[in-house]
Amino acid sequence: MADLVDLVIEDDRWAALEMNALAERAAGAALIIADVASEYEICVMACDDARITELNGEFREKPTATNVLSWPAFELAPESEGGQPTPPPPAESLGDIAIAYETCEREADAMGITMQAHVLHLIVHGCLHLLGYDHETDKDATLMEELEVKALASMGVDNPY
């Protein structure tokens, strides 16, 4: 069986976290909880704050570091607030996710959780964005957070909210 995640490590600090295993677990849990078959590939780029700042500036016109960014391969957003996104069509890739080391580390420290738990959460979060979920409205945020909490619970991670 092919890997679900195509991992690109741009910052060597990620290797110490066994990032490939974390990314596979998180992406698999996100797809299961969203009731999507896992015959897709998701590219995860594990980078640093400098790189994610570049990407955030280029794609969102926000030249600041952030924890995670995602680029869906398909427009799957639901037609109504709080609705279910359109299922993805058969394809090889669902899209790309970038995650920044320093920001993740600072956030995990501030929340008093392990870096691994926070990374699992952020990759689940990014995967749900690839599947058309969002948090722009209260109804959409509630649905997305419920799915995140369920996916994290399936991996033994406490509710981050």
**CATH code, domain with 131:** 3.40.390.30
Q: Tell me whether residue 30 is in a domain.
A: yes
Q: Tell me whether residue 160 is in a domain.
A: no
The percent of residues above 90 in pLDDT, for the chain, comes to: 91
Q: Tell me whether residue 67 is in a domain.
A: yes
93-100, strands of its sheet edge to edge: 5-9, 41-47, 93-100, 68-72
Mean pLDDT of the region 47-61 = 97
- How far lies 152's CA from each of 12, 17, 65, 119, 130, in Å? 25, 17, 24, 11, 17
Q: Tell me whether residue 159 is in a domain.
A: no
pLDDT tens-place string over residues 62-103: 999 999 999 999 999 998 999 999 999 988 899 999 999 999
pTM of the model: 0.95
The C-alpha torsion from 133 through 19 and 160 to 114, rounded to 10°, is -170
Phi, psi torsion values for 103, nearest 5 degrees: -65, -45
Question: What's the pLDDT score for residue 2?
Answer: 61
Q: Tell me whether residue 118 is in a domain.
A: yes
Domain range for 13 is 5-81+89-154
Q: Which residues lie closer than 8 Å to 131 by C-beta, 6 or more apart?
A: 30, 31, 34, 36, 72, 76, 85, 88, 94
Structural domains in the chain (count): 1
β-strand partners of 88: none
Q: Tell me whether residue 45 is in a domain.
A: yes
DSSP SS3 for 25 = helix
Q: Tell me whether residue 161 is in a domain.
A: no
